Amino acid sequence: MTREPIVISKTLLALPRFAKTLIVIMVDASLCVVSVWLSFYLRLGEFGTFSTSQLTVVFLSIFLVLPIYLFCGVYRSIFRYGDSNSLLLIIRSTIIYSVPFASVVMFIGIAETPRTIGIIQPLLLSLFVCSARLTAKLWLGSMHIHPKYEKGITTALIYGAGSSGQQLASAMHSSDGIDILGFLDDDDSLQGQFIGQLKVHDPDELETLVAQLKIDTILLALPRINRSKRNEIIQKLKNFKVSVRTIPSFVEIAGGNFSVSEVVDLEIDDLLGRDAITPKQELLEKYSTNSVVMVTGAGGSIGSELCRQIIALEPKCLLLIDHSEFSLYHIHSELETISKQSKIIPLLVSVQDKCKISTIISAWKPNIIYHAAAYKHVPLVEHNFLEGVKNNIFGTLNVVQSAIEHGIKNLVLISTDKAVRPTSVMGASKRISEMILQALSKEQTKCNLSMVRFGNVLGSSGSVVPKFREQIRNGGPLTITHPDIERFFMTIPEASQLVIQAGAMAKGGDVFVLDMGKPVKIIELARRMIQLSGLTVKTESNPNGDIEIQIGSLRPGEKLFEELLISNDSETTLHNRIIRAKESHLDWERLVDEISRLQSAIEKNEVGLARRIISGLVPDFQVKNKIVDYYYNQSSNNT
């Protein structure tokens, strides 16, 4: 094939879908003109210029055939992948067209027009249109140019030929960016059938389909299936070099949060690879429905999801506490669109401001306080030692003491698995926060104090999932600090529901943890995300892979493995996946003296002394690295 036809083909294939459809419509209109002109020649036996009557027939043909072809779906077909079914559709559509056309020409009549034109022209038109489609298939198909290589064009199969899949295919029809080439479905009765112009294939044929049709994306349209079946399908799909995307769950669609036509990245739960933990509704509602609820750190990852879960339970009033104006504005605006029944009050204040926190609690008298405000990014807190301690330890102390002072019945602290045998300042500060609640629970009975400890939250700020997604979008590499590092994972809704349910089961001084199953290796999560993006991992054995995984070194305070329990002494609760831990702690008299010493060290900017005090309070605090606090090191360099 010469260079000119190749250039023309590439130019045509690079056009947006709308432009391609417009060209085909113009071709069909031209074929109407040619078929009318030729039908007159066959009937009269002589060529001639178009008369007024012949022009009338031309306009009638174009006026009828284009809307009928459009309505019947002729223009949804992709020529270079067309088959006998596409040709049959053209023939059926032309037969439909021939009925009104022949009725006008043969029975109503057009001046100087033989009645047999009503039969000859539709036959010729059908022949010409089918021939044009076959020519386009042979010409463009031979180029081996596929939408996958066009600008922004994605070639996809829809997994799920049910109503959601059909709605998705219909919605994607008008998309310039996605070409839907068929369905996949596990239902034997649907396989081999056609829905519209799209064939339903057996998922076992996927390897062949990917190769033949150059498929690069699978769209999951399975909003109703359970998590186990969904994970099974995703596990199967990751063996192929295709990107896997999904439509929202049926619950989200039914709730009006999403449209079935919205295609999104795989849910965090899909990456987790396990069934989501089902909450107990009676525990969720106990202290939230028709109550005054206060959430500190309301604009953070956990705090904001807590607020979403709580607002769905229809509290009387929800107090949003955060020191970040942007975060507070964002969550307040979102919640106002969700609920019109509950009063939502945003309060711009830091938990380090004890006077203001006490005033707020005194004014609103919340039934329960969820304390989620904390600095949680391990390296950042390590480099800003004193600020991390002030916020995490003394911020917690301010909120807890104010709650006790004003007779608040319940307070739940959001803690972390990094508090167990901590190697970081962040983890140690959270362990001391836990100890404050444990000690004060023995000193008073006014406020029911409890804490919830869980592992890494997928999708939160600082989580590996958004970081990996961004790195994949940028072409890699994916960066991991150690090949053996592993973490317990849960989703943000699971974590938030756990917090609410734990508060409902608290007896005082409780440490609740979630039975999170087996920990996940970060490197395996990275590989899974690369594969589900339709890419391959670049390794020594696969140098032509798409994305490389680079191994670095552990950051200051980072652990290889996380734990959820300090001791093995624990008991079950009303929820079979929530455990109540029994752990030792200091009494309040000893603890308050050490906290006073710590506060004095902070006021004097004595980082070394503060770290020694924390090490004394938390014997398991594994101090393995030198002090990396920026202020401390800069001050040391200047002396």
Report helix, strand and coil shares of the chain as percent, to nearest 5: 50, 15, 35
Q: Residue 2 burial (CB < 10 Å; 0-12/13-18/19+)?
A: exposed
Residue 119 is predicted with a pLDDT of: 86
| Closest to 192 (Cα-Cα) out of 78, 220, 167, 183 | 183
Element (H, E) at 480: strand 478-480
- Give the tens place of pLDDT for each residue, 66-105: 888 888 877 765 554 455 667 788 888 888 888 888 888 8
- With a cut of 70, list the residues of the chain below it in pLDDT: 1-18, 47-50, 76-85, 137-153, 172-177, 226-228, 247-280, 455-463, 488, 515-518, 534, 554-572, 622, 624, 636-639
pLDDT for 163-198, tens place per residue?
878 877 877 665 556 778 888 988 888 888 888 778
Element (DSSP H or E) covering residue 498? helix 492-505
pLDDT of residue 363: 96
- Where on the phi/psi map is residue 476: left (φ > 0), alpha (ψ -120 to 50), or beta? left
Give counts: helices (H), strands (E), the chain. 24, 23
Q: What percent of the chain has pLDDT over 70?
A: 78
CB burial of residue 148 (10 Å; 0-12, 13-18, 19+): middle
Query: Mind listing the domains of the chain with CATH numbers?
Result: 3-141 (no CATH), 147-266 (3.40.50.720), 281-617 (3.40.50.720)
Per-residue CA distances from 243 to 14, 144, 265, 330 (Å): 22, 21, 9, 31
Q: How far apart are CA 346 and CA 328, in angstroms?
A: 7
Cα separation values, 333 from 302, 327, 373, 592, Å: 17, 10, 19, 40
In whole angstroms, how large is the CA radius of gyration of the chain?
A: 33
**Which residues fall within 8 angstroms of residue 275, CB to CB, at 6 or more apart?**
226, 227, 228, 231
Structure tokens at 206: 């996927």
DSSP string covering 214-275 = T--EEEE--TTS-HHHHHHHHHHHTTSS-EEEEPPPHHHHHTTSS-TT--EEPPHHHHHTSP
Three-class DSSP category at 116 = coil
Name the phi and psi angles at 628, rounded to 5.
-115, 15
Q: CA-CA distance, 27 to 25, in Å (whole number)?
A: 5
At residue 613, the pLDDT reads 93
Look at strands 317-322 and 343-348 and give their pairing: parallel
**418 a catalytic residue:** yes
Q: What pLDDT, on a 0 to 100 scale, did the predictor assign at position 325? A: 95
Distance CA 487, CA 336 (A): 35
pLDDT of 430 reads 94
pLDDT of residue 151: 45
Is 0.85 topped by the overall pTM? Answer: no
Catalytic residue among 418, 518, 521, 624: 418
